[in-house]
Every structure is written in C-alpha cells, then in structure tokens.
Amino acid sequence: MRSATYVVAALALWMVGCAAHRSELEIPDREAIYDRPLEEMWPEVRTFFTENNLPYREDKGSMVLETDWRQEFGGSKIAGYWHRYMVLGKRESPTQSKLWIVRITKSANKTLSKPGKEIDWGVNRRGPGTTESDAPLTGDEFTPPTTSPEDWEAMLNEPQGDNSFFAESAQGARDLVMEWKVFRSIAPKLAKAENAPKPVQVAKAPSAKEAPSAMAFECGLPIIGLAKQAKKGAVLLLGEMHGTQEVPRFLAQTVCQSVVAGVPVTVGLELPLESQTRIDAFIDSAGTEEDWLKLMDAPFWRSPYPDGRGSEAMANMLEQLRQLRSRGLDIEAFVFDHPKAQGQERERAMAATVKQQVGATPDRFFVLLSGNVHARTKAGLPWDKKYRPMGLLLKDDLDEVAALDMAYDSGSAWICAVNSQGKKDRLDCGVRDAKGKDNGDRFFMHQWDGTNDEGYDGVFYVGPVNASAPAVQRGMGRPGANDNSGHPLKDEGTSLAAVR
C-alpha cells in the first residue's frame, strides 16, 4: 500500500514540477524510476508495447525485448531509415526498477556507414542450396539468392526480419523521451488503474475522422532543443546550404515530432510561387505514380540551375509530408519564392507571402526552409550594407521569429558555383566537398541568448552531410522507386550547358 501511494504522489509531483513533462518534445534530464520491483513492473512494459502495436521479441527470463523495425515516415529509399527499440529492464534496488530504451537506427544508404564498409561480391557467389564444396546446406548457412547483384543489394537495403543484420549502416542511442512515455503510461497503472494518464493527443488534420495514436508514427530520434521552438504562433527560419540529404530529413523529423506532440505545423519552402497548386494537390493525393508525374511536371524541377532545392531529398521530403498528412496529422505546406524578382525586391516579395500565411493562421507553428542569406535577421551583406533579408523583414512585423543557421560535419553537397574559368553567367553544378565541424551524430537545435553579427539566433545541426542530386536525374516519377537514388554519383562538376 505504501508503494502504491508513493507512485501516485511521485507522479503527481513530477507532472507539476518536472521539466521533463513541460512538453512532449522536451528531452528529460533524468531517469524515470519505478517504485516497484522489476518483476512487477515488467508485465506492464509488455502490455505497453502490445497495446501500441509495436510487435516485439523477448529474451525470456532476462527482462529484455526488441521491437520490429519501423520505417521512418514510410518514404522512398532516398532516406531509407528504419528504427527499432531495445528495451532493458534494470534493478535500481530490491524494491525499485527502471528501463533503458535504446533506439537503433539503420539506413539503406551510407549516411551512417563506417568508412570503407562496402559490399564485396567476390568470385564465388553461389545460389541457395550449395556451399563452396557443392555439399547440401544444413539450413543454418546464409547464402545469397540466385538473382543479379543489383537485386540482391536492393533486398539488403531494407532491414526486414533476419535481413536486418545486413543493412548498410547503423547507430544506436538511448531514448529518454521514449522511456518517460512508457513511465507516464504504466506507473499510474501500477498504483491504481483510474490514475492512468490520457494518451498524448496529436495535432489532427481537420479532414481526419479521428485522431491517430501518437505511438503509430516513427519520427526518428528526438531532436534536441526542438521543444523550445515548436509552439503555436512561432516562426522558425532554417537557413540551409542547399543540396544535402540531411536537411530535408531534419525538416521532416521536425514536422513529424511537433505534430505528434500536438502542435499543428505549416511548412514554408523556398520554391517558386507557381508550384503551390501542384504541391497542394500532391500533399492531398494518394501518392501514385500519376500524382508524382503531375508534381514533377513543372519547369522548376528541370531548371538549368539545379541548386539543390529540386533535389531527390527535397522530393522525398514532400512525400514524407504527404504520408503524414494522409494518416490524419495536421500538416500544411506553402511556397514563397518569387524567382522573377531580384535582390531586395525578391526579399520583400518572399516576406510578404510568408506574413500573409502567418496572418491567416496564427495558431500554427511555421517552419521555413530557405537559403541561409534569406533567413538572416540583420541588415547588410558583404556586397550591400543596406540589404534587408527576408528574415529581418519578418522579424520587424511578426511577434515570435527565430532564425537558425545550418551547422554540419564535413561531407558533400550538390553545389552550383561560378565556372572555374570565371566565365560570366556560367555555373558548374555537381557534388562538392563540404567542410564542417564535428558536433556529434545527433540532430539538435540551439538558440543563443542573443543574435550574432550575421543575424542568426542559433544553429540547427544535421551531422555529416551527403550530397543529394537533382530529382530529375533519376526520372520524373516517384523517387527511389527503382533506382540507386540513395547514392548520388560523385561528380567533378556539370556545366550549365550539360544540365540543359
């Protein structure tokens, strides 16, 4: 009886004062401790994963379970990330226990892969049923199927079941957010069933018949610092270097995690204004091949200046937003670029479009992705001291605007630069080295106490970067459907004439 009372009291105090519960997005700074022996707590852990449709395998007798793989967003293999949980029950004392939950991430591409890790087919590939000596197999050996190397590699790209061991790359990290989600669900049940908290309510799309379960979505490892930014009425400017795989994924994770935590999100993209109708239709579509062709059948995707905004990763990010919306989440998207305008006129036009959107729906969280010059909130550029970027124009007129500059570890990006021979109006576009600084492998946002000289309030960090080539290089249909799109070819540069 004393233990039951302790659980209820401790949970009540935690709900009132603990920073871990201020937001579903905030990452706790301490472990959740159950005032129950491990043997009494563990059955409720099983029930939690069963009720939330997270199938698992359990190592009987050891208080360890492992869930099945779930694909992040369910998008194409351009991103190709899968996640599973390893759950370990631990004894804190004879009468107390805790959980460690590790989120394991695997990818079909090489973003997480260790250097030098490549598939080596060798010269002795044989079909199932044979070994090196042509002796019959006993059933325990693993041999590749009698298909082409390309088909075999495509199968290995998707970590399903036992095949998960052969995924291209992987990493694991402890997920304190998930640990506290489990705690909030089962700790009151250990005391008294009627004290069980209500499930987290996602931001439901107006057209959805019922609110989906928050646990039904795989949004990736929680982004550190997102909780301070994701709130209704806030405008978050992300100033990027175009042409990476990681920034569109960071944006999609930001949207997914925010909406699942109950915050409706509107995404703003630096794409031409004439693309709005196509993007609206695509976000509301079933994502068929015909829907993809309608989206991609626009001059923007075939631009002679493929600067990274029309990359495979950007196209896949739109697919991820479409899928989340189709499952009942409250997600909107709009475009704000005015490519026919130049210089200061373009900045004013973009800012006006954004302000119109924010003014029409002020109770949403706006996340805007643009080149890092447009996101600045202070006047002046090296070539024009009076220049007023879009970010500054927004900050002058809107209540809550934060501008974050892109931070990243070294890697590559699809970059367009002036021709190496210095010819006017001639660009070279291709995969280029990108020099950054290693700040770990976790996505995070960090806002400073003030604004720096370039007009940024902080940074968003995406880890090592990998180039993402223009989507149309793989065709006009659904990206990743039948290609090698997760691995853009290395390139020393493509002339403007060649791109045409």
pLDDT in tens, the chain (500 residues): 344 444 444 444 344 334 334 577 889 989 999 999 999 999 999 999 999 999 999 988 889 999 999 999 876 555 578 999 999 999 999 999 999 999 999 886 655 555 544 444 444 434 444 444 444 444 444 444 555 555 545 554 555 544 444 445 567 899 999 999 999 999 888 876 445 556 678 999 988 888 888 999 999 999 999 999 999 999 999 999 999 999 999 999 999 999 999 999 999 999 999 999 999 999 999 999 899 989 988 888 888 778 889 999 999 999 999 999 999 999 999 999 999 999 999 999 999 999 999 999 999 999 999 999 999 999 998 888 999 999 999 999 999 999 999 999 999 999 887 765 655 566 788 899 999 999 998 999 999 999 999 999 999 999 999 999 998 876 656 655 544 333 333 443 433 333 32
pLDDT reported for residue 3: 45
Q: Pick left, alpha or beta for residue 296 (phi over 0 → left; psi -120 to 50 → alpha; otherwise beta).
A: alpha
Strand pairing partners for 368?
237, 268
**What does the alpha-carbon distance between residue 247 and residue 369 come to, in Å, rounded to a whole number?**
9
Q: Classify residue 202: in a domain, yes or no.
A: no
Q: Which residues of 111-137 are buried (b: 16+ CB within 10 A; e: fewer)?
A: bbeeeeeeeeeeeeeeeeeeeeeeeee
Instruction: Tell me: do 318 and 357 sit in the same domain.
Output: yes
**What does the alpha-carbon distance between residue 293 and residue 303 come to, in Å, rounded to a whole number?**
16
pLDDT reported for residue 118: 47
**What does the alpha-carbon distance between residue 400 and residue 49 come to, in Å, rounded to a whole number?**
38
**What does the alpha-carbon distance between residue 229 and residue 227 come to, in Å, rounded to a whole number?**
5
**What does the alpha-carbon distance between residue 294 and residue 284 come to, in Å, rounded to a whole number?**
13
Please check whether residue 41 is in contact with residue 186, taking contact to mean a CB–CB distance below 8 angstroms.
yes
Q: Classify residue 59: in a domain, yes or no.
A: yes
Instruction: Tell me: do 431 and 362 sit in the same domain.
Output: yes
**What does the alpha-carbon distance between residue 22 and residue 17 come to, in Å, rounded to a whole number?**
8
The two tokens of residue 404 are: 């974050």
User: Integer distance in angstroms from the first to the last C-alpha of the chain?
Assistant: 76
**What does the alpha-carbon distance between residue 211 and residue 328 come to, in Å, rounded to a whole number?**
7
**What does the alpha-carbon distance between residue 247 and residue 466 come to, in Å, rounded to a whole number?**
10
Report pLDDT digits (tens) over 121-140. Answer: 444 434 444 444 444 444 44
Q: Classify residue 143: in a domain, yes or no.
A: yes
Cα-based torsion angle of the residue sequence 474, 478, 484, 489 in order, rounded to the nearest 10 degrees: 40
Residue labelled with tokens 């190709």: 80
Angle at 488 (CA atoms; ends 482, 493), nearest 5 degrees: 135
Q: Classify residue 113: in a domain, yes or no.
A: no
Instruction: Tell me: do 52 and 184 sit in the same domain.
Output: yes
Instruction: Tell me: do 406 and 271 sit in the same domain.
Output: yes
In total, the chain counts a number of residues equal to 500
The two tokens of residue 214 are: 């928050």
Q: Classify residue 208: in a domain, yes or no.
A: no
Q: Pick left, alpha or beta for residue 84 (phi over 0 → left; psi -120 to 50 → alpha; otherwise beta).
A: beta
The two tokens of residue 377 are: 């909130």
Instruction: Tell me: do 182 and 235 sit in the same domain.
Output: no
In three-state secondary structure terms, 406 is strand
Instruction: Tell me: do 280 and 260 sit in the same domain.
Output: yes
DSSP-assigned letters across all residues of 349-385? HHHHHHHHHHHH-TTSEEEEEEETTTT--SS-BTTBT
Looking at residue 62, its amino acid is S
The enclosing domain of 11 has a CATH number of 3.30.310.80
Secondary structure element (H or E) that encloses residue 244, with its range: none
In three-state secondary structure terms, 156 is helix
Instruction: Tell me: do 163 and 179 sit in the same domain.
Output: no
**What does the alpha-carbon distance between residue 460 and residue 165 come to, in Å, rounded to a whole number?**
32
Instruction: Tell me: do 362 and 273 sit in the same domain.
Output: yes
Instruction: Tell me: do 186 and 255 sit in the same domain.
Output: no
Secondary structure element (H or E) that encloses residue 402, with its range: strand 401-409
Show the domain range for 34: 2-108+175-195
Residues in contact with 483: Cβ distance below 8 Å, sequence separation at least 6, in sequence order? 474, 475
Instruction: Tell me: do 67 and 158 sit in the same domain.
Output: no
Q: How many domains does the chain have?
A: 3
Q: Classify residue 468: in a domain, yes or no.
A: yes
Please check whether residue 445 is in contact with residue 460, taking contact to mean a CB–CB distance below 8 angstroms.
yes
Looking at residue 354, its amino acid is V
Q: Classify residue 206: in a domain, yes or no.
A: no
Q: Classify residue 357: in a domain, yes or no.
A: yes
Instruction: Tell me: do 102 and 154 sit in the same domain.
Output: no
Instruction: Tell me: do 129 and 219 sit in the same domain.
Output: no
